[in-house]
Structure 1
Amino acid sequence: MENFNEDYKRYECAKERVKEIKGFYIHLFTYVCVISFLLFINLKYSEDHLWFYWPMLGWGIGLLFHGLKAFEVSFVSKDWEERKIREYMENEKKNQNKFE
Structure 2
Amino acid sequence: MEEDKKYERAKKRVINLKAFYIHLIVYILVNTLLVILNLMNYEDVGRWWFVYPLLGWGIGLVFHGLSVAPFGLFRPDWEERKIKEYMKKDNRND
| Matches for 1:7-46 after TM superposition, within 5 Å | 7-46=3-42
What's the C-alpha RMSD, in Å, of the aligned pairs?
Answer: 2.5
Cα distance in 1 for residues equivalent to 2:58 and 2:70: 18
TM-score of the superposed pair, with normalisation by structure 2 = 0.75
Indicate the structure (1 or 2) with the bigger Cα radius of gyration.
1
Number of corresponding residues: 84
Per-residue deviation, 1:89: 1.1
Match of 1:70 among 68, 71, 79: 68
Structure 1 stretches of at least 4 aligned residues deviating more than 2 Å after TM superposition: 72-75
> Counterpart amino acid of 2:63?
F
Cα distance in 2 for residues equivalent to 1:63 and 1:73: 16
Cα distance in 2 for residues equivalent to 1:34 and 1:7: 40
- Deviations 1:51-79, CA, capped at 9 Å, x for gaps: 0010000000000000000114336xx8x
- Determine if the alignment matches structure 1 residue 56 to structure 2 residue 54: yes
Indicate the percent of aligned positions where both proteins have the same amino acid. 41
TM-score of the superposed pair, with normalisation by structure 1 = 0.71
